[in-house]
């Protein structure tokens, strides 16, 4: 039995190369800043939980989407409506004097601090990942791996009961669905979060107005920021589910100790 175990372990170490130290460092720093960004992002959204398309959007304008994240999404009890032009449907101004839920003082500052950390970690990841070959070897899916039949076969394998505990070692090589998921996070969702985030900065868009055109306006960028966030939450839930179902202890050891 002992020999068998040793053999199996030897086999696994060949199959799974383990996570290198810099990958583990990047992973946990990303996890820390990601969770901070999620928490503060929800708090920021709760202050005005309405999404719009275009440059402008506010409580006096129709919303694309509303979320019951706080009482702030309700069409407010605005007072003293003023019309600027005496034409039906013309823009108005109205006063809001009641207080609303707003933790943006610290939520925003913490959001941007975590974003700075994520940008630094992301830069380190792309540099080391590019130079070491990790990104090309382990993350970028091969063309044949993206064939629908191949992806579908891989998904079915994930759903088999025997594919559960202890079936996957910590670290690469990754399955093709896994590669696709990581690639979408690293190359699409996180960069999109950064760019849409920057598009919400009045100082940045004064220098790079094309960002506003790229997304169709400040509010559109905010809406895209929300949908990219939704994708990342979906990834996060699946990611945690996979870690738990394929052997939580092994996976955590692999990502903390590298073996």
Partner 1 sequence: MKKDRKRILRRTFLKGAASSAGVILAGCSESDPPTYGNLLRMGDNLTFKAHRLLLPKHSFAREYDLTEITSVPAIGTTNPSNPNKSPTYSEAHGPVYEKFLARNFDNWTLGVTGSVERPAAFTLSDLKRMQSRTQVTRHTCEEGWSAIAQWTGVPMRNLLEAVGVKPGARYVQLFSYDDWGDCIDMVDALHPQTIIAYGMNGRNLPISHGAPVRLRLEKQLGYKSMKFLRQIVVTEEFDDHGQFGHIQNGWSWYAGI
Q: Which residues bind partner 1 (CB under 8 A)?
A: 44-45, 47-48, 50, 55-61, 72, 76, 78, 80, 82, 84-85, 91-97, 99-100, 102, 104-106, 108-110, 112-113, 116, 200-207, 209, 212, 218-219, 222
Find all residues with CB under 8 Å of 15, minimum gap 6, and list them. Answer: 169, 173
Q: What's the min distance (Å) between Cβ of 60 and partner 1?
A: 4
79: exposed, middle or buried (C-beta count within 10 Å: 0-12, 13-18, 19+)? exposed
Q: Which is nearer to partner 1, 13 or 58 (CB)?
A: 58
Find all residues with CB under 8 Å of 129, minimum gap 6, and list them. Answer: 135, 139
Q: What's the min distance (Å) between Cβ of 73 and partner 1?
A: 11
Q: Which is nearer to partner 1, 92 or 147 (CB)?
A: 92
Q: What's the min distance (Å) between Cβ of 38 and partner 1?
A: 16
Q: Which is nearer to partner 1, 4 or 203 (CB)?
A: 203
Q: Which is nearer to partner 1, 113 or 243 (CB)?
A: 113
Find where tokens 């696709």 sit: 180
Instruction: Give the C-alpha separation, 124 to 30, whole Å.
Output: 11
Helix 248-256 / helix 218-245 crossing angle, nearest 10 deg: 120
Find where tokens 């190359």 sit: 187
Q: What's the min distance (Å) between Cβ of 236 and partner 1?
A: 23
* 251 beta partners: none
């Amino acid at each position: 039995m002992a020999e068998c175990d040793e053999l199996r372990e030897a086999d696994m170490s060949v199959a799974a190369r383990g996570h290198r130290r810099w990958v583990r460092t990047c992973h946990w720093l990303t996890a820390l800043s990601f969770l901070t960004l999620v928490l503060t992002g929800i708090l920021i959204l709760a202050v005005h939980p309405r999404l719009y398309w275009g440059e402008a959007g506010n409580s006096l304008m129709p919303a694309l989407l509303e979320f019951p994240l706080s009482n702030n999404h309700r069409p407010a009890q605005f007072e003293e409506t003023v019309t600027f032009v005496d034409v039906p449907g013309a823009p108005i101004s109205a006063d809001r004097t009641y207080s609303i839920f707003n933790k943006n003082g610290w939520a925003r500052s913490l959001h941007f601090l975590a974003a700075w950390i994520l940008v630094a970690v992301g830069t380190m990841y792309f540099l080391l990942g590019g130079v070491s070959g990790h990104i090309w070897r382990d993350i970028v899916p091969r063309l044949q791996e993206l064939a629908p039949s191949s992806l579908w076969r891989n998904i079915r394998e994930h759903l088999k009961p025997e594919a559960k505990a202890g079936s996957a070692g910590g670290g690469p090589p990754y399955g093709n669905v896994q590669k696709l998921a990581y690639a979408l996070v690293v190359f699409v969702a996180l960069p999109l979060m950064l760019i849409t985030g920057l598009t919400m900065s009045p100082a940045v868009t004064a220098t790079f107005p094309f960002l506003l055109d790229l997304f169709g306006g400040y509010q559109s960028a905010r809406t895209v920021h929300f949908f990219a966030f939704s994708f990342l939450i979906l990834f996060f839930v699946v990611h945690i589910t996979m870690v738990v179902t394929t052997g939580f202890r092994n996976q955590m050891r692999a990502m903390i100790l590298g073996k």
